[in-house]
Amino acid sequence: MTKKNDTPQRWKKKSTPKSGATPSKPDLRRRLLTSALIGLGLALFILPSLTKTNNAVTISYSSFLQQASSQGVRTVTVDNATGNISGQLESGAKYTVTGPNPVIASDVQTLRKQDNIDVKFSNPSGFASTWAPYLIWILIFGGFMFFASRQARSQMNGMMSITRSKAKQFNEDRPTTTFADVAGYLGVKQEISEVVEFLKNPSRYSEIGATIPKGILLVGPPGTGKTMLARAVAGEAGVPFFSVSGSDFMEMFVGVGASRVRDLFATARKQAPAIVFVDEIDSIGRKRGAGVGGGHDEREQTLNQMLSEMDGFDSAEGVVMIAATNRPDVLDAALLRPGRFDRQIVVPLPDLDERLPILEVHSKNKPLGPDVSLPMVARGTPGMSGADLANLVNEAALHAVRRNQSVIAMIDFESARDRVLMGQERDTMVLRDDERNRIAYHESGHALLAYVLEKSDPLHKITIIPRGMALGVTMTLPEEDRHIMSRDHLEDSLCMRMGGRVAELLVYGDLSTGASDDLQRNTELARRMVREWGMSKVIGPMAWGSNNQVFLGEDLMHTRDYSERTAKIIDAEVGRILREQEARAIEVLTTHRRGLTALAEALCEHETLDGETAARLIDEAFGEAVHAPGTKTVSTLSTPAPPVSEAPSDSN
């Protein structure tokens, strides 16, 4: 683990308020002012009517005139606008009268002649009554214009910010993942931690004259943890960390990507020392001039700007670039030269020693049963990436929930591995009896050859339950990592895949469509043996055929670099290899015909057999052990299937 960061506070960036956080002061003032104006308008319009106290008695107009003539009225106030009359009676009570509008002049003269009546006329011209209706419409229109201008201003800001970088910044206040969370890959973590340590303590390296690489390229298959390693750098580094995807530079407008690259590096220089991480850099870093439409598109302009920026700053500025890709073969050579991406770190698929700690990390917070053996699970998952192992543990937990169990058992891991490697069971598919029998013989042919042949992978499981797109599956599982394959192993693999087709031919005398996938995979493997690996005596030690991809544009018009005569020889050699392995499969299955029938009948009864049960049936049908003790084994990583009592007799 690296030391805590002692980087000065000037490198820290103020965090941006998240959605739902307290708004800034200008926004708060604007909202308060808008609310105050709306509230004032409503108050001017509503409050006058609410503050009026009306305790007066309503009387008719004729009754009012009668009381006025009999000296029962003390005061009269006439509203010239509405014609309403109000006032006070001699008894002291208040009254209101709905009079005619306009007021009758003779009635007014009669009231004035009365000495005891005080007659007044009112012309209401108050602010609220006169301007309130207009003020409401003015406020509504003003509010509409305010929000419209605000929306337009935000859109203009968006248009003006289109050239800004979309990189997300992380600092020491927001650690997410550390190197402790990344299991395995000690060499990879050591090289990346050197970069982090250099940015934290550059004097340690400058004293000896060492300079840190400007760029580090993480190369590896999908799911191996390249992005997680970058997140670990963000968690460990005490310097600003800018994370951006390669696709974030691309835009429909030409020149936008280059502007975003300039903005990204300008921001990184201001906050140096800093780390810039670009994920999936192959989306913008592909070879220039490979496109069909020329070399002046947006992607190439972005790449040119990135090359210029990486060449423009020196290591003393303290800006290190880290990128990740699973296609290093398509990257431009100028991007990989020394001085830009000086160091390439391969992040391979984890081996056995690394799969176990990865499984332990992903199952750390999950309840495991006492029968679970993570070393056995790790040994039975060769070729799986870190993402595959995480998915395996999650599938095991889901399977335990489906079984209504509170802990994850070994059978859950076994079912999860079968689902990941072979596909989900299709329980709803109903096969006819003749189809089940043919599938049983087909899979038995694969299984028998997998057990009998010396160099084939150990037999793990046979099933005639439809899984994924297959109607039946024979699963072989190497119990150790294999990094190189001999010709004997490849030939046994070809022969094993021929087993299903040959078994149908021996038993039924005809063929079906069930061997389609087997033939495609065998043809591809045999062609690679001839064209790429030099495993043909006729062709000799030569590799034919280009590995360049068509989408790069280099092989669009020409995909073959050998003559027609050589093509005929290659086709002939591929056919010879496949026919030899077919003849070999026929010979082995004919010798072990009783074992083939025993496996098929046991599959029809139990639907699924593990490797040990299949091996016992083959040995019993053969009359003796096919292999000497300790020479050829089957996979023992599965939960045993129900035992078969005895080997069925050969019905033919």
- Residues labelled catalytic: 443
Beta bridge partners of 170: 241
Two structure tokens written together for 518: 């087997």
Residue type, 78: V
Q: Is-contact 392 416, C-beta < 8 A? A: yes
| Residue 494 exposed, middle or buried by CB count within 10 Å (0-12, 13-18, 19+) | buried
- At 627, list the tokens: 């292999």
Question: Cβ(226)–Cβ(324) under 8 Å?
Answer: yes
Q: Which residue is listed with tokens 């039946």?
A: 472
Work out the number of other CB atoms within 10 angstroms of the CB of residue 174: 11
CA–CA gap between residue 434 and residue 467 (Å, rounded): 19
Query: Do the strands 473-476 and 459-463 form a parallel or antiparallel pair, or are they unpaired?
Result: antiparallel
Q: What is the DSSP string of 597-611?
A: HHHHHHHHHHSEEEH
Angle at 375 between CA 371 and CA 380, to 5 degrees: 100
As given in the structure block, the two tokens for residue 180 are: 């402790």
Exposure string of 208-243, with b = 16+ CB inside 10 Å and e = fewer, is eeeebbbbbbbbbeebbbbbbbbbbbbbbbbbbbbb
d(C-alpha 149, C-alpha 544), whole Å: 66
Cα 186 to Cα 180, 616, 617, distances in angstroms: 11, 43, 45
**Tokens representing residue 549 in the block:** 């991809």
Residue 475's φ and ψ, nearest 5 degrees, are -110, 125
